[in-house]
Structure 1
Amino acid sequence: MGLVDLFIASTIPVLKVLLVTGLGSYLAFDHVGILGDDARKHLNNITFFVFSPALVYSNLAKTITYDSMAKLWFMPLNILITFIVGSVLGWVVIQITRAPSHLRGLIIGCCAAGNLGNLLLIIIPAVCKEKGSPFGDPDVCQTYGMSYASLSMAIGAIYLWSYVYNIVRVSSSSRSKDVEIINDSYVSNNNNNNNNNKSSIESLSPSSTTEPLLSSTQDHEIGLILPQDTFQHKPPVSLSDRIKQRLEMLLNKMNLKKLFSPSTTAAIAGFVVGLVPLIRKLIIGDEAPLRVLQDTALLLGDGAIPAVTLVMGGNLLKGLKGGSEIRKSIIFGIVFVRYVAMPLIGIVIVQGAIRFGIVHDNPLYQFVLLLQFALPPAMNIGTITQLFGAGESECSVIMLWCYLLASVALTVWSTLFLWLVS
C-alpha cells in the first residue's frame, strides 16, 4: 500500500470531523441562533444520557466474547499509560511556564486525558470505509473497530472522572483558599485599625491602668476556646485505622456518580450481555427473540456521532470569542505534549508491546492503541471546569487551538500509524 493511499485514507476522516465541527460552530453563532447555549446544553444531555450509552452498549454486546476479552486486556493498561505519561509531561509544562495555581489541574488534565471516545467513533469507521484501508473488509473492520472505540470510550470515562475530575477540584480549591486568605487579611487589617482606635480611646480612661492583665473570667473563656485535649497525650492510631480513614476521605471526595457515568454503566451491561451465553442468545443475533432491544440500541447509537461533533463545534466557538488572558507558552506546551511528545512515546510503548508479544497481531487493534496517544484533549474537561468555575475561559482557548491543529496532527500521525501497522 503506497504512502499516498495511506495519506488519503487518514485525511478523509479528519476532513469529515472538520466539516461537521465547522457546521456546529456556524449553528452556534448569535445571528443563526440554532445551537445556542441552551440548545447545546440540552443536546449534550441527550447525547450523554441516551446516544452515547446506546452506542457503547450495542457495539460491546455484539462483539465482546471471552476470546476477544483475552485479546483486549492491554487496552485499559495502554490508556492508563497515556494518563500517567501525560500527567508527568503536564507537570513539566507547569514547571517551565510557571503556570498559576488555579490552572495547574487544567494543564495536567489536558495533557493526560485525550478524546478517547468521540473522535475514535468518527475516525475508525471512516478509515474502514476507505479503499486504501489496510484493515480488510469494511463491514468487519467497522464492527470490531466500533467495539474498540466503545471500550476506549468507557475506560477513558472512568479515568477522566476519577482522576482529572479530582485534579481540577484540588486546583480550584487552592484558588478559593487564596481568595479567602486575601479577604481575611483585608478584614483583619480593618479590625486592627478599629482595635487601635479603640485602645487609644481606652488608654485615656483612668480605670484602664488598674485592670489586671487577665481576669478569672478571661481565663475561663480561654479554657473554652482552647480544646481540652490540647495538652493531653493522644493515643496512637493504628496503621489499619489510618488506611481506613484515608479510604473514607477519598470515597467522600470522589464523585462516584460521575465515575459511573451512563457510558460506563452501558459498557458493563454490554459486557454482561456479550459474556453470558444465555442472555446473548436472547438478545444478539437474527434469530434472537429479544433482538428488537439490540436493534433499538443500534438505532439510538447512530445519533451519537453527529450530535457529539455538532456540540463540540459549538463549544469551540467560546475560544473564538476570546475573553481569556492565558499565556501563549501554556498553549504551546499543551500542544507540544499532545501532538509531538505523546505520539512518539506511544510508538515506543506499543511497538515494544508488539515486539514482546503482549499485543496480538491485529492491525486495527494496534492502530487504535497508537491513535490513543495522538488525540486532542477530552471535551469533558470543559464540563469539569464549568463545575468548579476555575479556568473555564482558559479551557475554551486551549480547546480551540488544540482542535484547530488536530486536523494537521491527526492526519500526519494517522498516516504514520497506518504505515507502521500495514
Structure 2
Amino acid sequence: MGLLDLFIASTIPVLKVLLITALGTFLALDRVDILREDARKHVNNVVFYVFNPALVASKLAETVTYESIVKLWFMPLNILITFIIGSILGWILVQFTRPPPHIRGLIVGCCAAGNLGNMFLIMIPAVCKEKGSPFGAPDVCQSYGLAYVSFSMAIGAIYLWSYVYNIVRASAAGTTIESTRLITGQSSRESSTAELGSCTEPLLPSKEPLASEHRIDQYALPRTKQIEMEDSGNKQLLSKLLGNINWKTVFAPSTTGAIVGFMIGLIPYIRKILIGGDAPLHVIQDTASLLGDGAIPTLTLILGGNLLKGLEGSGMQKSIIVGIMVARYIALPIIGIFIVKVRLGFIPADPLYQFVLLLQFAVPPAMNMGVITQLFGAGETECSVIMLWAYALASISLTLWSTLFMFLI
C-alpha cells in the first residue's frame, strides 16, 4: 500500500468531523440563531445524562466479551498512561505560563484527556471502508474496530468523569472561594481590628491552670502519645482525602453506562436476553443504540457552536494554546510510538489494535471538556479558543500521524 493511499485513508475521517463542526458553527451564528448559547447548554445536559451513557452502554454490550477483554487488557493501562503523561505536561505548562486560577484545571484536562470515543467512532469505520486500507476485509476490520473503539470510549469516559471532571471542579471551586475571600477580606479585617480594640480582658491567662484542667494526654508516656498522634493524623488525612472526592461524579452517567455495558456483555444470561435479533428484550438494546447514535453528531455540532466564541477571541495567552498543541500533537504521539512499538511482547501483534493504541496518544482534546466547563460555568470561552485551534490543527496533525502510524505497523 502506497504512502499516498495511506494519506487519503487518514484524511477522509478527519474531514467528516470538520464538516459537521463547521455546520455547528454555522448554526450558532447570530443571523441563523439555532444553536444559541442557552440552547447549547440545554443540549449539553441531554448529551451528558442521556446520549453519552446510552452510547457507551450499547456499544460495550454489543462488542465486549470475555475473549475481547483478555485481548484488550493493555488498553486501560495505555489510556491511563496518556492521562498521566498529559497531566504532567499540563502541570508543567501551568507552571511556566501562570494562567488565571479558573482555567488551570482546564489546561491540565485538555492535555490529559483525548477524544477517545467520538473521533474513533468516526475514524475507524471510515478507515476500514476506505479503499486500500491496511487492515484487511472491511467487515472484519469494522467488527473488531468497533470492539476496540467501544472499550476505548468506555475506559476514556471513566477516566474523564472521575479524574478530569474533578480537576476542573476543584479549579472552579478554588476560584469561587478566592473571589469570596477577596470580597469579604477587607470587612473581616476591619471587624477583627474592632473586636481587638474593644477587648478589655488579657489575651493570656494570668494564673497557671489547675492540674485537673490539663488534658489526660499530657501525662501519657512520650512513645504512647506519639503513636496516638500519628494514628490521629493518619485518620484525619484519610478522612480529608476521602471527603474531598466527589463520589457522585466518580459514578457519572457515562461511567454508569460503562458499568451496565460491561455487565450485559460479560454475563451470558443477560446478554442472551438483550443482545441479538432473537433476544426477548432486544427492543431495550435497540432503543439504547438509537439514543447513542445521536451522541456523536450532537456533540460535534455543539463543539462547532462553541467554537464561535473561540473565533471572537478571549485574550488568552498564546503560550498556553501553543503549549497545549505541543503537548497533544507532538510530545504525546512521540511517547506513544515508543510505548506501543517497544512493547516487550505485551501487546498483541494485531495491526488494527496497535493503530488504535497509537491514535489514543494523537487525538485532540476530548469534546466533553466543553460540556464540563459549561456545567461549572468556568472557562467556557477559553475552552472554545483551545478547541478551535485544537480541531483546526487536528486536520493536519491527525492526518500526518495516522499516515505514519499505518506505515509503522
Normalization by structure 2: what TM-score? Answer: 0.87
User: Which residue of structure 2 aligns with residue 209 of structure 1?
Assistant: none
Measured after TM superposition, the shift of residue 335 of structure 1 is: 0.7
Separation in structure 2 between the aligned mates of residue 289 and residue 95 of structure 1, nearest angstrom: 57
Q: Report the counterpart of residue 272 of structure 1 in structure 2.
A: 263
* Match status 1:249 vs 2:240: yes
What runs of 5+ residues in structure 1 fail to find an aligned partner? 200-211
Could you tell me which residue of structure 1 aligns to residue 340 of structure 2? 350
State the AA in 1 paired with 2:2: G
Which stretches in structure 2 are left out of the alignment for 5+ residues? none
CA deviation vs aligned residue, 1:353-406 (integer Å, no higher than 9, x gap): 2xx111112111111111111111122223333444443322221121111111
Other-structure match for 2:168? 168
Structure 1 CA distance for aligned equivalents of residues 283 and 192 of structure 2: 74
Deviations 1:269-305 (A, max 9, x none): 2222222222222222343333333333333332222
Alignment of 1:371-386 (within 5 A): 371-386=359-374
Deviation at 1:332, TM superposition (A): 0.6
Matches within 5 A, 1:383-398: 383-398=371-386
Indicate the residue corresponding to 2:282 in structure 1. 291
Q: What residue identity is the alignment partner of 1:308?
A: L
CA distance in 2 between counterparts of 1:165 and 1:314 reads 22
User: Following superposition of structure 1 onto structure 2, how do residues 23-38 of structure 1 map, counting pairs within 5 Å?
Assistant: 23-38=23-38
Q: 1:335 aligns with which of 325, 346, 350?
A: 325
Match of 1:413 in 2: 401
**Aligned pair partner of 1:311 in 283, 299, 302:** 302
For these two proteins, the number of residue pairs brought into alignment is: 398
Checking the alignment, whether the CA contact within 8 Å between 1:319 and 1:393 is kept in structure 2 is: yes
User: 2:268, 2:408 → 1: CA distance?
Assistant: 37
CA distance in 2, matches of 1:102, 1:283: 45
Superposition deviation, residue 336 in structure 1: 0.6
Question: Equivalent residues in 2 for 1:99-118 (5 A)?
Answer: 99-118=99-118
Tell me how far apart the structure 1 counterparts of residues 184 and 53 of structure 2 sit (CA, whole Å). 47
Q: In the alignment, what sits opposite 1:282?
A: 273
| 372-381 vs 133-142, which moves further | 133-142
Task: Mark the CA change 1:238 to 1:153 in structure 2 (over 3 Å): closer, same or farther.
Answer: farther
Q: Is the 8 A contact 1:157 1:261 kept in 2?
A: no
1:311-331 deviation digits (Å, cap 9, x = unpaired): 111122121222x22111111
Please state how far the C-alpha of 1:194 moved relative to its aligned partner.
8.0
Indicate if the aligned counterparts of 1:6 and 1:132 stay in contact, CA closer than 8 A.
yes
User: Are 2:64 and 1:73 aligned?
Assistant: no
TM-score by length of 1: 0.84
Question: In the aligned structure 1, how far is the partner of 2:270 from the partner of 2:148?
Answer: 22
AA in 2 matched with 1:281: K
Do the aligned residues in 1 keep the contact of 2:86 with 2:112 (CA within 8 Å)? yes
Percent identical pairs in the alignment equals 62
CA RMSD of aligned residues (A): 3.1
Cα displacement string for residues 332-360 of structure 1 (whole angstroms, at most 9, x for unaligned residues): 1111111111111111111112xx11111
1:153 Cα deviation after fit: 1.8
Deviation at 1:125, TM superposition (A): 1.6
Q: Is the 8 A contact 2:373 2:383 kept in 1?
A: yes
Work out the CA distance in 2 between the residues paired with 1:339 and 1:215.
65
Query: Is the contact between residue 7 and residue 415 of structure 1 (CA under 8 Å) also seen in structure 2?
Result: yes
Alignment pair present for 1:187 and 2:175: no
1:367 to 355, 373, 377: 355
- Give 1:258 deviation, angstroms: 2.3
Residue in 1 that maps onto 2:44: 44
Read off the aligned partner of 2:156 and give its amino acid letter: G
Aligned AA (1:375): V
Contact 1:162 1:254 in 2 (8 A): no
Q: 1:176 and 1:45 mapped to 2: Cα distance?
A: 23
Q: Secondary structure at the match of 2:115?
A: coil
- 1:59–1:143 contact (8 Å) kept in structure 2: no
Cα contact 1:117–1:150 (8 A) shared by 2: yes
**Separation in 2, partners of 1:188, 1:43:** 42
Q: Judging changes above 3 Å, is the alpha-carbon distance between structure 1 residues 213 and 247 closer, same or farther for their aligned structure 2 residues?
A: closer
Which deviates the most, 311-320 or 174-183? 174-183
Q: 1:250 to 1:2 in 2, by over 3 A?
A: same
Q: Any idea what the Cα deviations from partners look like across 1:34-78, whole Å, max 9, x if unmatched?
A: 122233233333333333323222222222121111111111101
Q: Output the amino acid matched with 1:393.
A: T
Q: 1:319 to 1:232 in 2, by over 3 A?
A: farther
Residue in 2 aligned with 1:9?
9
Contact 2:94 2:104 survives alignment (8 Å): yes
Cα distance in 2 between the residues matched to 1:215 and 1:298: 73
Q: Secondary structure at the match of 1:144?
A: helix
1:81-109 CA-to-partner distances (Å, cap 9, x unmatched) read 00111111112212322334443222211
* SS of the residue 1:35 aligns to: coil
Instruction: Give the Cα separation in 2 of the matches to 1:26 and 1:191.
Output: 54
* Deviation for aligned residue 1:177: 4.5
Q: Bigger CA drift: 59-68 or 10-19?
A: 59-68
Q: CA, structure 1 residues 151+245, in 2 after alignment: closer, same or farther (shift >3 Å)? A: farther
Secondary structure of the corresponding residue to residue 136 of structure 1: coil
In structure 1, C-alpha distance between the alignment counterparts of 2:228 and 2:31, rounded to whole Å: 64
Could you say if the C-alpha distance between residues 73 and 313 of structure 1 is closer, same or farther in structure 2, counting changes exceeding 3 Å?
same
Counterpart Cα distance in 1 of 2:185 and 2:64 = 59
Tell me how far apart the structure 1 counterparts of residues 271 and 193 of structure 2 sit (CA, whole Å).
76
Q: Partners in 2 of 1:55 and 1:189 — Cα distance?
A: 53
Task: Give the structure with higher Rg (CA).
Answer: 1
